[in-house]
Structures are given as structure tokens and as C-alpha cells.
Chains A and B, each alone.
Chain A
Amino acid sequence: MNPELPLFPVQASAMAGQVDALYFYLVAVSAFFSLLIALLVIVFAIKYRRRSNDEFPVGNAGSLKLELAWTIIPFFITLTFFAWGARIYFRMNRPPNDAMQVYVVGKQWMWKIQHLDGVREINELHVPVGQPVRMTMTSEDVIHSFFVPAFRMKRDVVPGRYSTAWFTATRIGDFHLFCSQYCGTKHSAMIGTVHVLSPTAFQAWLAGGAGSESLASAGSKLFTQHACNTCHRSDSLARGPNLEGLFGRPVHLQNGQTVVADEQYLRESILMPQAKLVEGFQPIMPTFQGLISEEGLLQLVAYIKSLSPAPGGEGGGAAPEPGKARIAPPVKNSSPEREAPK
């Protein structure tokens, strides 16, 4: 690929530059102190080398001042690492509200990706440049980890729960996608490519996947197919909570607690309906564990989210009306600092 010996990864996301800046700061501080210690040791070793076997140097009495100095100063230096690192970590964990939603399912040994309007890909992810992309990810079997070095982005994909990650690609090109959590025999083959396209090229690519129905509409079909709609309805025959406008809202539970209806809650309520029983309803819903695949669950979640038109709650993502998310906004200066919480 590269005729020279590459020694540093390309920067292809808004986060990459920030991580690298902190990295170089760490390298500088480490190199300074490592060389200082090495230099002192070497100088002492040579200057005070044993010249005669009868020499017995006077002992040292220690020094409280020095001890305090080299306890306290390093502590404050590490605090700068901590504060800077924590700032970046917060940004990494706070996807912006206007992010484009992508769903990812990891399984031994492939990445299955669904776009909101139904285009599916395997071991490949196409995204437009400049557009924040939020990924909701889960695993069908063991723990995987979604790692794109050029984006300095990594997130474990854990069975039984949704994990989220986001990035804004800043450079057009193809970049490595690795599974970085050891996941069995073909772990090193669970790799792929992230294709960052210009907004127009991305549109053209999306259009190429024509004929596929949107995720929400696939979810809507599943909803009917599993007869969810016989109970979850808005009229008086409803025996389960009405799902319209549910996403992102607080839900009052029978045990007096309140939870926010996020993706994780929706998933859990389909698989373990009794875990968080909604106030005023009977525990009559059967479990759908084993009946719906992880991809199907994501479609259902996308459908239920589409029933809440307004972006609900933090990280709720744009209203996934079919056809809307398809129009990738033009390159915005969506520097992540803008969305970063305090």
C-alpha cells in the first residue's frame, strides 16, 4: 500500500486530531522524564563509579523535601492528563443530536450493518464525509469491538445490550475497520472497510441500494407479524402500553421507579417484558427471546422510534422518518466541541 514505512495512523475524523494532540503531550512529558532519569542514572553510574575497593561513601539521610516534591509534582502532572483525557472521553460518549443513525450487529465473524432506509452491508460501512454518524450496536454471540483506527474510535459490542458510538469522518477515503475484542477462531478476519464518500457520492451509493425498504417499515411489518399491534394500540382495547410517542419519554413502572424509554429499554421490554413492568398493566406479555433476531429487534426499535416524531431525549437521534435521513446534510462545520457538554 504505502511505499514508505508508515509510523503514524491517518487522521480521518474530527476526534483524531484531538486524541493525537493529547497523545503528543503524553509522549513529550514521558520522553522528558524518561530521558532525565536515564541521564541521571548514567551520569551517577559513571561519576561515582567505584575506584577503589576500600571506598565506603557516607550514607544519606534522605530528604523530606525531595520526597514531597517528587510525590506532589508528578501527581499534578498526571492530573493534567486526567482532565484532558476526560474531556475527550466525554465528547466521545456524547453523540450530537443531528447524527445519522446506523445499526450494527456483530457476529462471529462479520459485521452486519443496516442503514435507516434499509440498505444493508456486510463488513463495509459507507458514510458521508462531514456528517456525524451514530451507531447503535449489539452482538449475536460473543463480545466484539468496533474499531476504526483512523477515527480513533473504539467501542465494545456486547451481547444482550446496545452500545453506541459516533464519529464524524473528515477525510474521503477507505479506512480499516477491525474487531479489536478477541472473539474466537477468525477474530483477525472480522475486519472490514469504512468508505467515506462525498455527500453526493454517498447519495448515489444509497440510491444504488434501491428497492430495499426502510428499517422502520421493516420493523412495522415485524410488529404486525408478531401481533404486537393486538395489544399495543391507541384505542380502548389496548392491553399493553401505547407506543406512540413513547421513545425518549419517562415511563412509570409498577414498582414505583421511573425509567427513560431508550433503545436499551425497548430491547429489554421485548425480550424480558416482566423486568420493567409499566404501571397499570398486567404481566401478560410473552417473551420474544429467540423469536426475533438481533437485526429484527433493531428494526422494531427503529419502528418504535419512528412513532415519536420529535427527537426524544439526549442521543435520541433524528426522527427516522423514511426518506428523510437519506438526504445527508451537506458538510457542516460540526466540530464536536459545539455539542460537548460542560
Chain B
Amino acid sequence: MSAAEYIEPAPAEPRENYLNAGYGVRSWLLTKDHKRIALLYLASITFFFFLGGLFALLIRLELLTPAGDLVQSETYNKLFTMHGVVMSFFFLIPSIPAVLGNFFIPMMIGAKDLAFPRLNLLSWYIYMAGAMFTLWAVVHGGVDTGWTFYTPLSTAYSNGHVVATAVGVFITGFSSILTGLNFIVTIHTMRAPGLTWFRLPLFVWSHYATSLIMVLGTPVIAVTIFMVAVERIFHLGIFDPALGGDPVLFQHLFWFYSHPAVYIMILPAMGVISEVVTTFSRKNIFGYKFVAFASIGIAVLGFLVWGHHMFVSGQSIYAGLMFSILSFLVAIPSAVKVFNWTATLYKGSFSFDTPMLYALGFIGLFTIGGFTGLFLATLGVDVHVHDTYFIIAHFHYIMVGGAIMGYLGGMHYWWPKISGKMYPEGLAKFAALVIFVGFNLTFFPQFILGYMGMPRRYHAYPPEFQVLNVMSTAGASILGLGYILPMAYFAWSMRYGRNAPANPWGSTGLEWQTTSPPPTENFEVPPIVDKDPYIYSAEEVETVG
């Protein structure tokens, strides 16, 4: 419990901060304060996380038995579709950027706000408008195309509310574009005096890379979904094979965004891990520039690998070769990051606070997720495991094991700053352990299931797959409980938690140099930066000669 030693004398009267600056509904719904907007996002994505989780729970319950006996196949198809839509577009993509990024990027660069505060608020309203369309579709019977909206199933054959869902996703895309645009402009123009590019925290670098993807990729999915919607509404025949249109072209356009979208989910989490690993080992990051440029490398290469989703779709073999080798290339910067985090721990001062436990979990699970990604980039193996539970396990290791671990790690790390309160450390460590165990029990068996050949999106399955499915469902129950715990104790701490000092972890980050919670203008005195990030010691030594 390193926290205790850093407590500063708490002021008797709570000083003016962004939370007590106004109490009315209007003061929240019309706020232009990036910190309050971050909390609006936090509330919304938490709702969608548990909604998506509820769908996941029902999916796992159905798969407890081989026969499709809990729900009808149509209902099951809607469940996994809505799980994918809600989790990807309404939770994972906005999660770290719109909550933690929104809150901390201005603070980390010593700015009073993002460059476009009203645009920031607008992006939340756009997100909510998209969410309303999607929720409307859920309530009125759902949609059963899979979150991938593959044509011609989505355009001509599905009976669900494809258009409402598509419009929801389309609209939400613009909130993502506006957030990314806001971040890029902010990072370019709003840095504090002395804060050069290579003094930026890596969290900011990873968000810069993320924003590039949001700005360059999202318009493509938007126009693709637009084409699906007009094909469905007006019977335009853009992907209709009967007119000579090509349904596989849809997949190219879809994955041109949706593969980079995976990096929208994981890059910010990597940024969190860089912050947490340095703070809790009191070390500057090993190979700062390599970690920073790895983020940019992932963002750029990420745009060139979409075709690895189509190795069995009938695209040219030579296209397959290109996409395969590019997919291996994009794995290298991720590996570089993992190696650098590990090297950062070497001869550090390691403290086992909860955020660090999540960081360790992230490194382990992301490594497994990354390696199994190599299986999928390997042409000969992908043909077998494509569209099986292997890929389900792989991307949950990246998105749940990676992105959500990073998100929770970040939430614990910054919760004292956001709320001004400390969470119960013992309970938090327990929850981290429960989540780690539950996660592995849920998803590791799915690798085995996948290689055995169980296809994804199956409502019923042959009986020999049952034992592994039961394990997975058992793990999911543990995981679900694990996720409820942090929400419960964070809420509890708002009222009953100990007051947090300005810098409970003894971090060097700018965001910790102001009070907890911060004032509306973030800093009493605008900061001036005169040194590199993560400097815990004046000396530096070469690890290897």
C-alpha cells in the first residue's frame, strides 16, 4: 500500500473542482468540460458494456448444451449480433479514447481543454443518437446479420432491423471521427510550453495513432454501411451478384475499416499499460521512441492487412500472400512493445498495486492473443481455423484480455484523479484475480474447440464439443461476477472512499501535478515542461553495453 505515504494534508473544505462546479442536469448535459464529457461517456459505455455482457451471458447459457434448447436459433443469432454490435461499436471503440483519453489527454499535455470543446460534446450526443437507433432495433426485435453485416445476407435475406442498426452504427461512426479529429488537433496545437513531441507521455502517442485510424478508417465503414442501407431501402443493387455486383467487395470495404478498428481498441490500452508500467516500477520506459513509433507503425500497417479476413473467400492467392506477409509485419511493433515493457521492469521498483496487476494481466493475455494472431496470418493454418471458435478465442484475448484489461487498469490507475476518492485496494486486487481466472477459463478452451472445428455463430453443436463449452460457460460466469465488482466498489468509493491525494502513486505525469479531482481549468498555474516523461531518477544506465 504505497498510497498511504503520499497523502497530503487534505483541505478542510473541498476546494472548487470540476465535479462541484455545478450540480444541475444542465451543468452536465451542456458542459463543454472535457472531464465532464468523459464522465458522460463513462456512464453510457458502462451501460452498453453490461448490455453487451448480458447478451454474452445468454449466448454462453445457450451453449451449455449441444442442442439449441434455451432460445430459438433466430433469437440466438440476434444475441450474438447484438453482442458484437454493442461491444464493438458502443463499448470497445469509444471505451478508452472517449473516457480516459478525453479526460487525460488535455491534462497530460498541460492544456485547459481539447481544441474543440463543443465538438467534443457534440460527439457524445452523436454517439447517443446512434445508440438510440441501435437500442430501438434491439427493443423492436433485434437484428440477425452478425456484426459484420455481410452481403447479400444483410441486404436481401435478413428479416431483422438491419437499417435501424446500420443507421445507428453509421451515426456513431461520426462521433468516433470527431473524437479522433479533436485529439489530433489538440495534440498538435495545445501542448504546454516545452512539451516537445518526444516528451509526450506514451498514452498520448498511442491516442495520436488511434485518432489517425479513427479519422482515416471510419469514413470508409460509414460509406460502406450507407451502401448497404440504400441497397436495402431503395433496392439499389451495389453488392447484388444478380446484377454483376460483388458481395466480396463489401467484405473488402468492411474490413478496410474493421481490421484497423481492432487497433482503435488495443492501441489506447497499450498507452495505458505504458503509463502504469512506468509508474509502478518507478522507471522510465525502456526504448521510449521505439514504443512511440510502434504505435504509429501499427496504425499505418494496420490499414494494409484487411485481406487476411478473406483467405477462404476466393480472393486471388497472390493477394492472400501479400496480406499474409503484411499481417506478420504488423505483429512486429506489437512484439516490440511487449519486449520494452518487460525490459522496463528490469531493476525497477515493482509495486503490486491493482493497476499493475491489470498491466501484468494485459501483457500475458495480449501476448497469447498476439501469438494466436500469427496462426491466423499463416495462410495454411487460417484456412482450417477461419470462422471457428479459434478466432473467437483469439480476438477475445485481444479485445477482452487486452483492451478491457487495459481499460480497467487505466480506470483503477486514474480513479483517484477522476473521483478524488480511493477505491478499496484489497477488494480491487481480488476482483483483478477473479477477472483473470474467469477470462482464461472462458476463452482458453475455445482455442481447442476452434482447432477441433467448431464453427462460430452456431446455435447448436455436435455433442463431442460439450465439455469444453461447459468450461467456457463456467468461466464466463466467473468473469461476469468479476466485472460487477469494480463497478460496485467504484460507485461505493464515490461516497465512502478515502479522499485521494493529488498524486497517490507518486507518478511523474502532468495530470498528477494538479489536485484530485482537478479544477475545471485543470491547472491552477499553466504548467511548463522542462524534462522527459517518466523521470524517476536523475541517473540513467545502459542495460546492455
Which residues of A come within 8 Å of B, CB atoms?
1-2, 5-9, 18-19, 22-23, 26, 29-30, 33-34, 37-38, 40-41, 44-46, 48-50, 53, 55-63, 65-67, 70-71, 74-75, 78-79, 81-82, 84-90, 92-93, 108, 141-143, 145, 147, 149-150, 152-156, 158-161, 163, 176, 178-189, 272, 275, 289
Please judge, given known A-B contacts A61-B541, A66-B544, A178-B455, whether A154 and B346 are in contact too, CB under 8 Å.
no
CB atoms of B452 and A37 under 8 A apart: no
B55 shortest CB reach to chain A, Å: 16
Contact A108 B157 (CB under 8 A): yes
Task: Give complex CA distance A106, B367 in Å.
Answer: 39
Q: Which residues of A contact B331 (CB under 8 A)?
A: 74, 78
Nearest opposing residue in chain B for A39, CB measure: B342
Counting chain B CB atoms within 10 Å of each CB, the highest count among A5, A55, A155, A187 belongs to A187
Distance of A6 Cα from B464 Cα, bound (Å):
7
B5 touches A53 (CB 8 A): yes
Least Cβ distance of A15 to chain B in Å? Answer: 9
Cβ–Cβ < 8 Å partners of A147 in chain B: 387, 453, 455
**How far is the CB of B235 from the nearest CB of chain A, in Å?**
16
Looking at B336, B339, B363, B462, the one whose CB has the most chain A CB atoms below 10 A away is: B339
B46 close to chain A: CB less than 8 A: no
User: Which of B288, B379, B460 gathers most chain A CB within 10 Å?
Assistant: B379
Q: Which residues of A contact B386 (CB under 8 A)?
A: 154, 180
Q: Report the minimum CB–CB distance from A121 to chain B (whole Å).
A: 20
Q: Is the CB of A78 within 8 A of B73?
A: no
Q: A39 to nearest B CB, angstroms?
A: 10
Other-chain residue from B288, B311, B320 in contact with A62 (beta carbon distance below 8 A): B288
User: Which 7 pairs between the two chains have the least Cβ-Cβ distance?
Assistant: A149-B453, A160-B241, A88-B380, A89-B379, A85-B378, A30-B371, A78-B328
B28 within 8 Å of A by Cβ? no
Complexed CA–CA distance, A142 and B461 (Å): 22
Residues on A with C-beta less than 8 A from B387 are: 145, 147, 154, 180-182
Contact A81–B378 (Cβ < 8 Å): yes
Q: A86-B324, A89-B317 are in contact. Are A41 and B360 (CB under 8 A)?
A: yes
Taking CB atoms, residues of chain A closer than 8 Å to B152 are 141-143, 159
| Interface residues in chain B, defined as those with a beta carbon under 8 Å from any beta carbon in chain A | 2, 5, 68, 73-74, 77, 144, 146, 148, 150, 152-153, 156-158, 241-242, 244-248, 281-284, 286-288, 290, 311-314, 317, 320-321, 324-325, 328-329, 331-332, 335-336, 338-340, 342-352, 360, 363-364, 367-368, 371-372, 374-375, 377-384, 386-388, 448, 451-453, 455-464, 467-468, 534-537, 539-544
CA distance A59 to B338 in the complex (A): 19
**Interface contact A59-B536, CB-CB below 8 Å:** yes
Q: How far is the CA of A196 from the CA of B281 in the complex (A)?
A: 60
CA–CA, A53 and B350, complex, Å: 11
Provide the residues of chain B in CB contact with A158, threshold 8 Å: 241, 247-248, 313-314
Residues of A within 8 A of B345 (CB): 40-41, 44-45, 48
- A132: min CB distance to chain B, Å: 17
Query: Does B367 lie within 8 Å of A19, measured CB to CB?
Result: no
* CB neighbours of A81 from chain B (8 A): 328, 374, 377-378
Let me know if A48 and B348 touch, CB within 8 A.
yes
Q: How far is the CA of A302 from the CA of B393 in the complex (A)?
A: 42
Assembly CA distance A1 to B148 (angstroms): 34
The verdict on A57 contacting B351 (CB below 8 Å), with A66-B343, A149-B453 known, is no
State whether B287 touches A67 (Cβ < 8 A).
yes
B451 touches A23 (CB 8 A): yes
23 A-B residue pairings within 8 Å (CB atoms) = A6-B452, A19-B381, A19-B383, A22-B381, A23-B375, A41-B345, A48-B346, A57-B283, A57-B536, A60-B542, A61-B543, A63-B542, A66-B339, A78-B332, A78-B374, A81-B328, A81-B374, A85-B324, A87-B380, A88-B381, A160-B241, A160-B245, A184-B158
When A and B form their complex, what is the total count of cross-chain residue pairs whose Cβ atoms lie within 8 Å?
314
Instruction: Please name 16 further chain A to chain B contacts, defined as beta carbons within 8 Å, in addition to the given A63-B544, A85-B380, A188-B457, sorted by A numbering.
Output: A7-B452, A19-B384, A48-B348, A56-B537, A59-B534, A59-B539, A66-B343, A75-B332, A82-B325, A84-B378, A85-B377, A142-B156, A154-B384, A180-B387, A181-B387, A188-B460
Distance A218 CA – B345 CA, assembled complex (angstroms): 72
Please give me the residue from chain A that is nearest to B335 by CB atom.
A74
Contact residues in A for B153 (Cβ distance below 8 Å): 142-143, 182-184
How far in angstroms is the closest Cβ of chain A from B73?
6
Tell me which of A65, A153, A156, A184 contacts B157 (CB under 8 A). Answer: A184
Q: Which of B288, B331, B464 has the most CB atoms of chain A within a 10 A radius of its CB?
A: B464
Shortest Cβ distance from B270 into chain A, in angstroms?
15
In the bound complex, do residue A45 and residue B5 qualify as a contact, i.e. CB atoms below 8 Å apart? Answer: no
Rounded to whole angstroms, the CA-CA distance of A189 and B455 in the bound complex is: 12
Contact at A70–B335, with CB atoms within 8 Å? yes
User: Considering only CB atoms, which chain A residue lies closest to B76 in the complex?
Assistant: A188
- Given A57-B349, A86-B379, A145-B312, CB of A185 within 8 Å of CB of B247: no
> Separation in Å of the A125 CB from the closest CB of chain B?
16
Contacting pair B150 A182 (CB below 8 A): yes
Q: A18-B380, A63-B542 are in contact. Are A33 and B537 (CB under 8 A)?
A: no
Indicate the member of B158, B328, B343, B455 with the most A CB atoms within 10 Å. B455
A187 to B457 alpha-carbon distance, docked (Å): 8
Contact of B150 among A48, A143, A272 (CB under 8 A): A143
